[in-house]
Amino acid sequence: MRVNVNVNGEDMTAENVWPGESLLYVLRERLGLPGSKNACEQGECGSCTVYFDGVTACSCMIAAGQAEGRAVRTVEGLAEEPGKGSDRTLGTVQDAFVEAGAVQCGFCTPGLLVQTDDLLERTVGAGKGAPDDAEIREALAGNLCRCTGYEKILDAVRLAAGRRAESGAAHE
Amino acid sequence: MATTTAPTVTDLSSTTRDGLGSSPRRPDGTLKVTGEFAYSSDMWMEDMLWGMTLRSPHPHARILGIDITEALKVPGVETVLTHEDVPGAKRYGLEYKDQPVLAFGKVRYKGEPVALVAADHPETARRALERIKVDYEVLPPVSDSRRAALDPEYPLVHEEGTLKIHEEYHQSGNRVRYQPIRTGGFRDVAGEKEREREVLDALRARADAVVETEYEVGMQDQAFLGPESGLAVPEEDGGVHLYVATQWLHSDLWQIVPCLGLPEDKVRMTMAGVGGAFGGREDLSMQIHGAMLALRTGKPVKIVYNREESFYGHVHRHPAKMRFEHGAKADGTLLYATLEIIVDGGAYASATPAVVGVASSLGIGPYEVPHVLVDAYGVYTTNPPCGAMRGFGAVQACFGYESQMDKLAEKLGMHPVDLRIKNAMSQGSRIITGQELHSPLPMADMLQRARDLPMPVDRSELPDPSDLRTLPGGVAGTTHGEGVVRGVGYGVGLKNLCFSEGFDDYSTARVRLEIVAGEPNVLVHTAAAEVGQGLVTVKGQIARTELGVENVAINPSDTRVGSAGSSSASRQSYMTGGAVKMACEAVRASVFAIARERGVVPADRDDADLSLAGGKLVSAADGVLTSLADLLGESASGGTVVEETREHHHRPTEMIDPVLGQGSSHTQFGMCVHRAVVDVDVELGLVKVVALDAVQDVGKVLHPQQLAGQIQGASTQGLGLALMEEIQVKDSEIRNPSFTDYLIPTILDTPPMRIEVLEHPDPHAPYGLRGAGEPPTLSSTPAIVAAVRDATGRALTHAPVRPEDIVGIDL
């Protein structure tokens, strides 16, 4: 079958999709977007988290056909000013993860970035201030990381929240 | 992170930005946050096929026949391969070549690879697997590791006999290795059972307190997130190029080549992005299979395991059954210890011999004990194969000896820290193999520091003690504070770092200095595996510090440079870091020689007067002599390129002998001390870890931020082993091969982790550093279990602790 889906603002079409394929498989193997990761493919680890019509979801749990006509935003679409090649500007969350040492092997990172971006949208972005540690832990509870022990991830989220709040204040 | 400074071997103060001692961003960080970093499962080619593996549904069965006829008829299937298609050697293995590439004769564990398919789509391949007919004669599992070690009548897993690689390993029957150690009064009667018993009885009579306990450590999974995967590309010369995620490219290569029947130069290996390893990528998974399919079909073949297959696709941490007995005087002085340690290697040896070597030699931990008897066994069973996982051998033993220390302290009415300090080893002490601890071991100080760390606030002082998120069970609301008891526990672990027992695990580095666009540029090339730990950052820091050049690039790891050894045993900063340092020193010496040749250096200045800093050649006496750009010239315009390759070997080690277990088998030792604070719902058996604080001596801090990441990550894996992680094996079958049923710590399970780092340099190691990645994995588990014991009063002899253990229900 054919699947039409808007990914990171671009209308894309995947041909010859077997109906049993997941959105994750279509993104990775048919649309050239392997950033979303295939760690468990059973909805337990959060590594494949994407925005699906604006709501975060495990793309491994979405059948390809369910994505027809929907809007998907992946880790590849998180950079705030994408498309500048080696000079690309990282998004606030992406930059904070590297700076805080929250990235080791990096396999969980794409999912955590999307989930963190969503958390900050719902908190800082909605004028509710930076999330406290307990809120961060609840928001990221569905994203497994095997390398870091999560301490540096907490650092990264706090850093990104602070910077997003600053830049929000600067815009006002 | 608090850092305590001690005298250093080398002054690392460097004027070069992002050198050693600072925390530069990791060079692969940007690609990893944009989604562009190419992991092994991201490999893709236009015309590639998908490979898939048929695995045995039985733990133990004879293969009477394999019929691939129907599978070949599935449209889209390009080939189906069995053991008959293995071009060269039929078996491979890390230490013993005992593992079939594809099963023949017998299968020895559930999940063993039997046949391969290459097809145009994963679903096509899966359907073809269903159509392969394998005729099995099912045999009873050989699943009891104690019987495998001690019962000569127990059925053999390898009926054809154990491979006699090392006679000194006492290989026989299902024993992969038996290692005894005898010290003190046991030494003169070694191996004479009756007289050993007499010595033991006499020691018991002299002891004021004796504790004897059986412990079990469950089978832990590395649970790296990036599944086994890779791409095999056939090449025009009849060879194959593999893009895979591994811990040691050359070890893979040396195992793959004989099985493919190709000369070594026909198999090229490039490291693809590694999604975590933790020991689970020391053994081969899809490498030979992918290469066989690519060579047969003439097309690129991609293989990606899913999570369930991954549980069958790599070795796990050896489960252990251990009997420990310790005797002490009334003042806490340890008198004797006897240990029986049985680790279950499963169907194939993998790293089992080395695991036995570590578990035995470090069996009593960092304690002075005059009379010791150790019997350590690694065995074959038809259980899932076990091999390397972070801290191997030492993790299992540490749970045993630390539990014993707590039990003794309780019996003697001592504080557990006081008992440990009373018996603590220090520099100059000898472990039970007779090996002297040649570098500082400030164990007593570390214990005191751990005890003195600030305690987390009491529950009653929390802003909202009824906040469910602070309680065991969390927002599930299983308690509002009733039945919740706090406990505190300590753990200490001693770990060997780098490979042991005579193994020369050298590393190779090539460093190139040239002038590009008017600036000095350095390229560092090794074959070392970046598995997430941050070696890729450290290699650059070393080059910047040694050569005074800011622009440092890291060449992708491949086999076009010599072996780097494995990214395991906490050894890469030491071994590959040391190789990069040596190659940089050679480059620097070459630059000095060139400068002399060209008359830039005053004749009366020796090399000790010279240094490289800020891209310039500097004399301590005369200041800047020249810039590197002027000295070497633009490389594109015929300028001088300086390139040096060096191998770094650590000091040689030796085997421990097969009778008394004596010998200096280890390269370096690392230590971590943990203090755990837990809140336990004693009615439901749920645990919340409130704090997990560590004191570790790392010799020298190279990258403070990455170091913290290693310690916190290792501590968390120890938390998993303490409270939740166990592959459930019944009748040799895994019952929980998924992240739904095999639980690893989430961010909700993991507490704040304070770290105190000490820097007592090891004079034999580059920069005085000590490997840091493993020691916290040892001490974290017993510290947490001790804290749960403190809260509950239960004996808790099994790691992980299960809810039924806490509430005292026998299931």
pLDDT digits (tens, 9 = 90+) for B290-342: 999 999 999 999 999 999 999 999 999 999 999 999 999 999 999 999 999 99
Confidence of residue A167 (pLDDT cuts 50, 70, 90): confident
> For residue A36, which residues of chain B lie inside 8 Å, CB to CB?
35
Site from B1, B30, B32, B33 to mutate, A interface, most A CB atoms within 10 angstroms = B33
Which residue in chain B has the smallest CA separation from A114? Answer: B33
List, for residues B210-261, the tens digit of each pLDDT value. Answer: 999 999 999 999 999 999 999 999 999 999 999 999 999 999 999 999 999 9
Is the model's pLDDT at A87 over the cut of 90? Answer: no
Per-residue confidence at A168, pLDDT binned at 50, 70, 90? confident
Q: Tell me what pLDDT residue B68 has.
A: 98
Asked if the Cβ–Cβ distance from B225 to A36 is below 8 Å, we say no
**Strand residues in B192-315 grouped as ranges (E):** 209-217, 229-234, 240-244, 267-271, 301-304
Q: Which amino acid is at B683?
A: E
- Residue B671 · residue B699 · CB < 8 Å: no
User: What local confidence, expressed as pLDDT, does residue A81 receive?
Assistant: 53
Query: Given CA atoms A102, A103, A104, A108 in this order, what sign does their dihedral have?
Result: positive
Quick one: tokens of A3?
Answer: 């699947």
**Residue B159 confidence class, pLDDT cut points 50, 70, 90:** confident
CB contact under 8 A, A107 and B275: yes
Q: Touching check for B104 and chain A: CB below 8 Å? A: no
CA trace torsion B352, B273, B767, B780 (10° rounding): -50
Selection from B286, B307, B288 nearest residue B296 by Cα = B288
* Strand ranges inside B246-291, DSSP E: 267-271
Other beta carbons within 10 angstroms of residue B602's beta carbon come to 12
- pLDDT at residue B560 in the model: 94
Rounded distance, CA B570 to CA B279, Å? 11
The reported pLDDT for the residue numbered B9 is 34
Distance of residue B573 Cα from the nearest chain A Cα, in angstroms: 16
* ipTM of the complex model: 0.96
Joined tokens for residue B281: 């990528």
B466 part of contact set with chain A, CB < 8 Å: no
Paired sense of beta strands B240-244 and B267-271, if any: parallel
Secondary structure class of B357 (helix, strand, coil): helix
Residue B216's contacts (CB-CB under 8 Å, 6 or more residues apart) are B319, B320, B321, B322, B797, B798, B799
Beta-carbon separation of B121 and A18 below 8 A: yes
E runs forming strands in B45-131: 49-55, 61-67, 77-81, 91-92, 99-100, 106-107, 113-119
Across the interface, whether the CB atoms of A104 and B746 are under 8 A apart is answered no
pLDDT category of residue B799 using cuts at 50, 70 and 90 = very high
| Range 323-362 of B in CB contact (< 8 A) with A | none
Q: Answer yes or no: do A103 and B33 touch at CB < 8 A.
A: yes
Task: Please give the span between the terminal C-alpha atoms of chain A, in angstroms, as a whole number.
Answer: 48
Beta-bridge mates of residue B647: B508
Q: Which stretches of B543-685 are assigned E, i.e. beta strand? A: 551-554, 610-613, 616-619, 623-627, 642-648, 668-681
Q: Quote the pLDDT of residue B603.
A: 87
- Rounded to whole angstroms, the Cα distance separating B361 from B519 reads 51
pLDDT value of position B484? 97
Q: What share of chain B has pLDDT > 90, as a percent?
A: 96
pLDDT at B394 over 90: yes
Where does B40-139+231-274+281-313 sit in CATH, by number? 3.90.1170.50
Contact (CB<8Å) B738/A44: yes
pLDDT in tens, B638-691: 999 999 999 999 999 999 999 999 999 999 999 999 999 999 999 999 999 999
B223 contacts in chain A (CB < 8 Å): 146
> Across-strand partners of B325?
B212, B338
Question: Which residues in chain B have Cβ-Cβ distances shorter than 8 Å to A134?
Answer: 467, 469
Q: Considering only CB atoms, which chain B residues are within 8 Å of A104?
A: 276, 532-534, 709, 713
The sheet with strand B267-271 has its strands ordered as B77-81, B113-119, B49-55, B301-304, B229-234, B240-244, B267-271
Fold type of domain A3-77: Ubiquitin-like (UB roll) (3.10.20)
Structure confidence at residue B15 (pLDDT): 61
User: Closest Cα partner for B771 from B715, B697, B713?
Assistant: B697
Q: Which residue in B34, B715, B740 is closest to A149 by CB distance?
A: B715
Residues of chain B with CATH 3.30.365.10: 11-36+506-648, 145-221+317-395
Spatial separation of the C-alpha atoms in residues B339 and B330, rounded to whole Å: 22
CB A116 within 8 A of CB A140: yes
Tell me the shortest Cα–Cα distance from B804 to chain A, in angstroms. 25
d(CA B22, CA B14): 10
Q: State whether A144 and B35 contact (CB < 8 Å).
A: no
* Amino acid B604: pLDDT: 87
Classify domain A85-171 by CATH architecture. Orthogonal Bundle (1.10)
Alpha helices in B557-703, H assignment, sequence order? 572-597, 628-632
- Interchain proximity B35–A34, CB inside 8 Å: yes
Q: Is the pLDDT of residue B536 over 50?
A: yes
Contact B33 A141 (CB under 8 A): no
B305: left (phi over 0), alpha (psi -120 to 50) or beta: beta
Chain B CB contacts of A147 below 8 Å? 276, 532, 709, 713
Residue of A nearest to B719 (CA): A149
What pLDDT is attached to residue A85?
36
Q: Which of A105, A133, A158 to mutate to test the interface with B (most CBs of B within 10 A)?
A: A105
d(CA B109, CA B315): 11
DSSP code of residue B459: G
How does pLDDT run across A7-50, given as a tens digit for each residue? 999 999 999 999 999 999 999 999 999 999 999 999 999 999 99
CATH number for region B145-221+317-395: 3.30.365.10
Write down the pLDDT at residue A169: 66
The residues, ordered by sequence, that sit 6+ positions from B48 with a Cβ below 8 Å of its Cβ are B231, B299, B300, B301, B302
Beta strands at B77-81 and B113-119: parallel, antiparallel or unpaired? antiparallel
Q: How far out from the chain centre does Cα B484 lie?
A: 35
* Alpha-carbon span B508 to B564, nearest angstrom: 5
Q: Which of B225, B227, B753 sits opposite A151 (nearest CB)?
A: B753
Contact B532 A147 (CB under 8 A): yes
CB contact under 8 Å between A36 and B748, yes or no, is no
Percentage of chain B exceeding pLDDT 70: 98
What is the length of chain A? 172
**Nearest-by-CA chain A residue for B750:** A149
CB atoms within 10 A of CB B301: 31
Of B392, B272, B455, B262, nearest to B775 by C-alpha is B392
Domain with CATH 3.90.1170.50 in chain B: 40-139+231-274+281-313
Phi and psi at A124, nearest 5°, equal: -55, -50
Distance from CA of A5 to the nearest CA of B (A): 19
Q: Distance between CA A22 and CA B403 in Å, rounded?
A: 47
pLDDT at B11: 46
Residue pairs spanning A and B at CB distance below 8 A: 182
- Is A147 within 8 Å of B713 when comparing Cβ atoms? yes
Q: Which of A39, A99, A151 sits opposite B227 (nearest CB)?
A: A39
Residue type, A15: E
Q: Is B665 left (phi over 0), alpha (psi -120 to 50) or beta?
A: alpha
- Range B70-92 average pLDDT: 98
Subunit contact B42:A34, Cβ cutoff 8 A: yes
Chain A nearest C-alpha distance from B227 (Å): 6
Chain A residues touching B225 at Cβ < 8 A: 37, 39-40, 45, 47, 105, 107-108, 144-146
Pairing of strands B623-627, B686-697: unpaired
pLDDT tens digits, A144-163: 999 999 999 999 999 999 99
Q: What is the C-alpha R_g of chain B?
A: 28
Start-to-end Cα distance in chain B: 43
Q: Are B513 and B641 in contact (CB under 8 A)?
A: yes
Residue position matching structure tokens 């800020």? B614
Of residues B550, B519, B489, the one with CA closest to residue B693: B489
Chain A: residue nearest B274 by CA?
A105
**pLDDT at res. B6:** 41
CB distance A90–B30 less than 8 Å?
A: yes
Distance between CA atoms of residues A161 and A152, nearest Å: 14
- Residue B602, CA distances (Å) to B215, B287, B599, B615, B632 in order: 69, 56, 7, 19, 18
Q: Which residues of chain B have a CB within 8 Å of the CB of A74?
A: 35
Identify the three-state secondary structure at position B729: strand
Average pLDDT value over all residues in chain B: 96
* Across A145-159, B162-176, B368-382, least confident range: B162-176
Burial of B552 (0-12, 13-18, 19+ CB in 10 A): buried
- The arrangement of secondary structure in B11-36+506-648, i.e. its CATH architecture, is 2-Layer Sandwich (3.30)
Q: Smallest Cβ distance to B32: which of A99, A103, A145?
A: A103
Locate the chain A residue with the closest alpha carbon to B50.
A29
Q: In chain A, which residue's Cα lies nearest the Cα of B704?
A: A101
The pLDDT tens digits of the residues spanning B760-796 come to 999 999 999 999 999 999 999 999 999 999 999 999 9
- Look at residue B5 in the predicted model and tell me its pLDDT: 41
* B747 touches A: beta carbon within 8 Å: yes
Strands B320-328 and B551-554, how do they pair?
unpaired
Report the gap between the CA of A170 and the closest CA in chain B (Å). 25
CB contacts, 8 Å: B123 with chain A: 18, 20
**Closest by Cβ to B33, choosing from A41, A94, A144:** A94
CA distance A35 to chain B (A): 4
For chain A, domain boundaries: 3-77, 85-171
Same CATH topology for A3-77 and A85-171?
Answer: no
**CB-based burial label for B477 (10 Å; 0-12, 13-18, 19+):** exposed
Is A138 within 8 Å of B469 when comparing Cβ atoms? Answer: yes
Question: What sign does the CA torsion over B56, B58, B59, B61 have?
Answer: negative
What pLDDT shows up at residue B161?
Answer: 74
Contact state of B534 with A39 under an 8 Å Cβ cutoff:
no
Residue A66 has pLDDT above 90, yes or no: yes
Closest residue on chain B to A60 (Cα): B306
The answer to whether B225 faces chain A, any CB pair under 8 Å, is yes
What is the C-alpha separation between B275 and B37, in angstroms, rounded? Answer: 11
Q: What is the pLDDT of residue B4?
A: 45
At residue B10, the pLDDT reads: 41
Q: Which member of A101, A107, A143 has the closest CB to residue B226?
A: A107
Give me the residue from B30, B41, B226 closest to A105, CB to CB.
Answer: B226
Q: Which chain B residues contact residue A39 at CB under 8 A?
A: 225-227, 275, 307
